[in-house]
Amino acid sequence: MFIGRRLVRLVVSLLVLVTATFVMVQLIPGDPVQAALGDQATAELVALRRHELGLDLPLIEQYLRYLGGVVTGDFGRSIVTEAPVADLLATRFPNTLGLAAPAFVLVILIAMPVGLLTAVRTRGGQGRVTRSMFVNVTGVLNSIPDYVLGTLLTLVFVVTIPAFPAAGNEEPAAYVLPVLALVAAPAASLARIVRVEALKVLDAEYVRAAKARRLPTALRYWRHVLPNMLTASLTYGTMILAGLIAGTVLVENVFGWPGVGTVISQSVIQKDYPLIQGILLVLGAVVLILNMIVDVVLGVLDPRSRMGEL
């Protein structure tokens, strides 16, 4: 029942997402076909292209046609290149995930130990210097937008010190700067969350009771602290991953990364609305599906999280 409710919620959310992307793109001012063909195009050519794309149909028919296409995996064709949007996404989206996925893993690997270690060293009013450094450093990192950090990294390590490739993803070294630009802010944010959750657990009565029973420190952390930290990390993980995917779209433009970020920038300029719709829909669907997976995992790890639905 729990998983079934989650699946129903996912389907409803996806339907809302499809509707929202359709409406938002329709609100873009101007004629996308005229913008794609240029001012020199004749009225007959523009009318013919609009008919081929179904843009001369009533909005409700356009929506139903779009919805039916999405269900079958057909996102339409690009107005500019006339290539299937699904083919463009199949080529570019793996590159975006190839950047966001390692960044997400690195965020977890950095934030978990840093947050826990800081909590241990600052609990009970101890380690004021450590706490001050942690708050200041994470505050600074959390305040720098990823695309600004990406630009600074490019100026230092590509222009001034040419230690990394300027663009593309052909070399392994090309991943370093974009991933660093994506990781800084979410790692700092998650480290703060982990520290707060770890302090709560470390001061919990059952942890003190385990210490009174002289349970080994490693076992106390393994049984009590780490599971609660994992639950907190998963709870905020989908928001972090959604932010990483959104940040990837911007960072890709800074580093010339061949993902959906560079494509969506061009499609907005060219008013290529079928391509805009396809990218927004796929990005949103990925976030919704990941959110459902995390909800299910949390429900398995912590059955108390289901109590609100009973």
The predicted pLDDT at position 82 comes to: 81
- 263 to 90, 246, 284: CA distances (angstroms): 12, 14, 16
DSSP type of residue 77? B
The pLDDT value given to residue 303: 63
**Which pair of tokens denotes residue 51?**
């008919």
Alpha helix segments (H runs only) across 175-259: 176-202, 205-212, 217-220, 226-255
Angle among Cα 64, 57, 19 to the nearest 5 degrees reads 35
Over residues 52-83, the pLDDT tens digits come to 777 788 889 988 988 998 888 888 888 888 88
Taking phi over 0 as left and psi of -120 to 50 as alpha, with beta for the rest, 37 belongs to alpha
Quick one: 61 and 159 in the same domain? no
pLDDT < 70 regions, the chain: 301-310
Domain that holds residue 183: 94-270
Q: Say if 178 falls within a structural domain.
A: yes
Residues 32 and 166 in one domain: no
Q: Domain for residue 288, yes or no?
A: no
pTM over 0.85? The answer is no
Q: Are residues 30 and 62 in the same domain?
A: yes
Q: Can you give the pLDDT at residue 35?
A: 73
Number of domains present in the structure of the chain: 2
Q: 169-216, pLDDT tens digit by residue?
A: 777 888 888 999 999 999 999 999 888 888 888 777 777 777 777 777
Residue 88 CA to residue 97 CA, distance in Å, equals: 14
Residue 112, Cβ neighbours under 10 Å: how many? 20
